[in-house]
Amino acid sequence: MTHGIVCAPQPEAVEAGALILKSGGNAVDAAIACALVQTVVDPQMCGIAGFGSMHLYLKDRGEHLFIDFHGRAPLMVKEDMWEDLIVGEAEDGFGFVLKGQINELGYASITTPMSLKAYDEALKRFGTKSLAELLEPAIDYAENGFMVRPHVAHFWNQVETTGRVSHMKYLTEDPSSRKIYVKDNGEVRIPGETLKNPDLANTYRKIAEQGAESFYEGEIAEAIISDMKDNGGLLTMEDLKAVDVNQTDPLWGEYRGFRIATNQPPGGGIMLIEMLNILENFDLAAIGHNSSEYIAIVSEAMKIATVDKDQHVGDPNFVDIPVERLTSKDYAQEQADRIKQGVITHVPRIKLSEESKDTTHVCTTDDAGNMVSMTHSLGMPSGTITEGLGFMYNGCMGVFDPRPGKAGSLKPGKSRFTAMCPTMIFDGDNPKMIIGAPGGTYITMGVLQGVLNALDFGMDAQKAVAAPRICTTSDIIDITNRIPRFVENELTDKGYEVRRSPLGYHFAGVHAISFDDNGKGSGGADPGRDGMALEV
């Protein structure tokens, strides 16, 4: 008997989720078990002090909803407190570089930790297992160690340019972080070596015994806030006690007769729907997959949605977002006509360059037809760990706009835009695909191409996530190294600036589960990450 499928970038996490399915758990249980192990074995990509968006289709209950747990600016922030510190803006709009890097590294970079609250909420409402039971695999990996994988080591050793924090600082600047991640000889571990984190194991044991409440107003919360006070952090006990999650309905769209369900702002679903609506006006299958014409058209749709996001999309509790207009077919037709007329969209930026993409994803299904697609993240790691707790805090303050009066400007209690867009596609009422990705602002672009690959070109999940990708979130078309050079030359001849990545798999780490006409599912894990899909 098939119990379901789990797909994620970390084999250890996938196995943990799959074993929960085998033991009788549902898709929600499996997703949370997977996510908790991810916090241990990919500790700079995600953590219990992170944030995210959880998409739940619960066929056995007749419910379809999101649990959104976006990080919030601490109540102590002021809209103009960093206005005079701006050095530049990331090329794709994922954050700002400030003097002293105070929004990226250290205690001032931390937004309200949301993830544990969301996991606990989902389990209490929709799961069949307890949080304590699902923590067991994560505790085991923290206590006894996990083998460092190539993607983890690559991240640790990645050197950012033009002012962004070099990743090694996440591991070395804070004494509590250095104790966990740096060996006695001053080096970090290489692929194949084992990393143990007994402090995190002890924290997870306390949560298993005392409940998630301990993190927000109990023993763990007191340790967090004491550390914040001692080191100039912005978080207060008031922030932790105010943590709650938002239940929202899916944001719906339609593409070539398929129904698209994705997340509401401040998530990236609005961009995905806008781009699909624009591209519906072109016969992409006839144009040809990854031809120069195809890449130019898709790139223009990406740029249009990026400009609209920068200008209009933020926390709907603080920003009046024109959702209906941006997701309308009429608006999409206008934008498609501009593309057909040869209009090239310009993406304004305060010049800088690339940024890190520190997020992870999980897709699950079960034998009752339930499905979960969850993206969760640290945004950018803060590099900060409270002594004895073992987990790293998020660094999400780095994405807020330090300029007052913008859609993404700082305000107390405000969430910032995130490109996370855990998405489900239906053919009528029948599931067609579950898809999502880590990857900063690359996320919507990677998910878009996975959807196009499935719906326009008939690819299954594995082929859809493995096909060569492009990304255009600035005036430059970024391409992976598997895009042919003759295609690059044709784009250059059209007047585009093209930048080739040395990587064959890049621009988000897309993961998906697709379903054939008989409802049989198959998983697809992005070959650029270390993950897998496992059916049990």
Active site members: 359
What Cα–Cα distance (Å) separates residue 290 from each residue in 192, 324, 332, 487, 494? 36, 30, 22, 8, 15
Give the number of other Cβ atoms within 10 Å of residue 534's Cβ.
19
Residue 409 DSSP class:
B
Question: If you compute the radius of gyration of the chain from its CA atoms, what whole number of angstroms results?
Answer: 22
Pair 432, 425: CB distance under 8 Å: yes
Angle (CA) 457 358 49, round 5° = 125
Compute the distance between CA of residue 328 and CA of residue 334 in angstroms, rounded to an integer.
Answer: 10
Pair 92, 442: CB distance under 8 Å: yes
Extract the tokens encoding 425.
């596609």
Which residue's structure tokens are 């509790």? 317
User: H-type helices in 456-484, by residue range?
Assistant: 461-466
Compute the distance between CA of residue 133 and CA of residue 122 in angstroms, rounded to an integer.
Answer: 14
- DSSP conformation letters of 346-408: -----S------EEEEEEEEETTS-EEEEEEEEESEEEEE-TTT--EEE-GGGGSBSSTTSTT
Pair 113, 69: CB distance under 8 Å: no
Please, what sign has the CA dihedral across residues 463, 465, 468, 469?
A: positive
What Cα–Cα distance (Å) separates residue 330 from each residue in 278, 327, 333, 428, 513? 9, 9, 5, 23, 31
Extract the tokens encoding 167.
């990743």
Residues constituting the chain: 536
The 10 Å CB-count burial string (b at 16+, else e) for 94-105 is bbbbbeebbbbb
Residue type, 531: G
- DSSP conformation letters of 192-241: T-EE--HHHHHHHHHHHHH-THHHHHSHHHHHHHHHHHHTT-S--HHHHH
Compute the distance between CA of residue 236 and CA of residue 224 in angstroms, rounded to an integer.
Answer: 9
Pair 73, 413: CB distance under 8 Å: yes
Compute the distance between CA of residue 271 and CA of residue 93 in angstroms, rounded to an integer.
Answer: 14
Pair 207, 143: CB distance under 8 Å: no
**Burial level of 160, CB count in 10 A (0-12/13-18/19+)?**
middle
